[in-house]
Amino acid sequence: MQSPELEQVLADAREEAAVLRSHSHKAQAESIERVCAAVAEAMPDYLHWMTEAEAELYTGLKTAALRARFHALEERGLAKWDHDRRRRMYRRIGLEHRGNAEAAKQAGQLAVRKRA
């Protein structure tokens, strides 16, 4: 059996907190929410997914170099194929930062605006 993704564990815990809150268990709900927030705050690079274009800017690597690493990263849970959008995604924690972070952020924001 494969372990659930951290994002799913956090989503399930937050859902449990919402159920507890709806049944007047505010203290327990708040406790779960605090733990979820602390875990998310402690793991930002793990929880942050990057498109291939963002990963190129972040690492300074070309597409071919990233794709050569994709399978090994995917096996470790640090990359995945987004079936809905038909693209490769990379966890920031799995990539070495060598690029210009500000340029990567701007390029990502520009791409989002173009799709909107």
Geometric angle at alpha carbon 60, from 78 and 6, rounded to 5°: 20
Which residue would you say has higher pLDDT here, 113 or 55?
A: 55
The reported pLDDT for the residue numbered 38 is 97
| pTM of full prediction above 0.85 | no
Handedness of CA 49, 54, 60, 66 (dihedral sign): positive
pLDDT category at 77 given cuts 50, 70, 90 is very high
- Domain ranges, ordered by start, for the chain: 6-42, 49-115
C-alpha 21/C-alpha 28 separation (Å) is 8
Rg (CA), the chain: 17
Phi, psi of 111 (to 5 degrees): -65, -40
C-alpha 26/C-alpha 20 separation (Å) is 7
> Is the per-residue pLDDT at 3 higher than 80?
no
